[in-house]
Every structure is written in structure tokens, then in C-alpha cells.
Amino acid sequence: MENRNTRRSLNRTFYSISRRYGEPIDIYKVLDRSVDYTTGNKTEQYETANIRNAVPVPTQIGRDVTYTPAMMQSVRKFAWQGGAGLEKEATTFLIAERDIPTWLRIEPTQFVIWRETTYQVVSIIDFDGGYIVNCEVAKGSGPTP
């Protein structure tokens, strides 16, 4: 059984946070990609939705380090000095359900552009009243701001 007061409280909370701290973002969905093999030109078609009040949660920077035995053998000195890693910059957006257009369904294949940076949607958590969208910086792919 669903508690209506809890749902109403979540709706109000998401909505008030988005009005107070929200910033505009654009969500891009890839409709079509094609490559002209003679010239090498790549064309992409996107569907765009503008969300005026998405709340960005502070950025997290994580470092993933992966070593294979062959890599350890070839770069032994470097590996023992702390190694190399791939830094991932991630951002989470809180989006109120009221701010999302009715035709838009957020999926992990989409891109978010916020403050001149392109992010790839990694996961979506659907709550009553809003969404929590986890994104990582997309370098070399997706639409350019």
C-alpha cells in the first residue's frame, strides 16, 4: 500500500530543491549515426530536450587502475611508483518529475550537456517525484556543446 503523504512530501522536496538550486541542462538522444566511407565524414542526428532546473550534485573524481601481467612486466619501474590510471569525472543530477517533458524517457544511451561539458548517462534511479541521474564525462564521443 502506498502512502500518499510520503509521495507528496517527495514531490515537494524534489520540486523545491530544483527551484532553489537548479541549473539548465540539455539531454541529447542519438537518433541516427552514419559514416561516409569514401570521405570519412561522420554524421549524427540527435533529439534534444532542455531541462531548466536540474540540480547538479558536486563532482566526484575516481581513479581506476588496471594492470595486466604483460603491462607490469613492460612498465615495472613506472608501476611501482604509483602506476597509471584512468581518471573518471562523475556528476549526479537531481531532476524533478515536473521538469521533464512528457515525451522524454531518460536512458543510459543519452548524453547530458551542462556548463559546456558533455556527460554520458550511466544510470538512472527513479523515485516518486523525481530522478537521480548519474553521469560520467564523455571524452571523444557524443554531441559537442
Looking at the chain, which runs of residues are DSSP E strands? 23-35, 42-64, 86-96, 111-114, 117-127, 130-137
Q: What share of the chain is helix, strand, coil (3-state, %, to 5)?
A: 20, 50, 30
Residue pLDDT, tens place only, 5-63: 877 887 788 788 888 999 999 999 888 888 888 888 888 888 999 999 999 987 766 55
Q: Which residue has the higher pLDDT, 144 or 44?
A: 44
Residue pLDDT, tens place only, 104-121: 888 888 999 998 889 999
Residue 145 lies in a domain: no
Instruction: Give me the pLDDT at residue 89, please.
Output: 81
Residue 142 lies in a domain: no
The CATH number given to whatever domain includes residue 69 is 2.40.10
Query: Are the beta carbons of 105 and 143 closer than 8 angstroms?
Result: no
Q: What range defines the domain where residue 26 resides? A: 4-137
Residue 32 lies in a domain: yes
Phi and psi at residue 43, in whole multiples of 5°?
-120, 140
Residue 144 lies in a domain: no
Residue 143 lies in a domain: no
Torsion of CA 135, 141, 142, 145, to 10 degrees: 90
Residue 98 lies in a domain: yes
Residue 128 lies in a domain: yes
Residue 108 lies in a domain: yes
Distance separating alpha carbons of residues 34 and 144, to the nearest angstrom: 17
Q: Model-level pTM? A: 0.72
Instruction: Give me the pLDDT at residue 51, please.
Output: 93
How many domains are contained in the chain? 1
Rg of the chain over all Cα atoms, to the nearest angstrom:
20
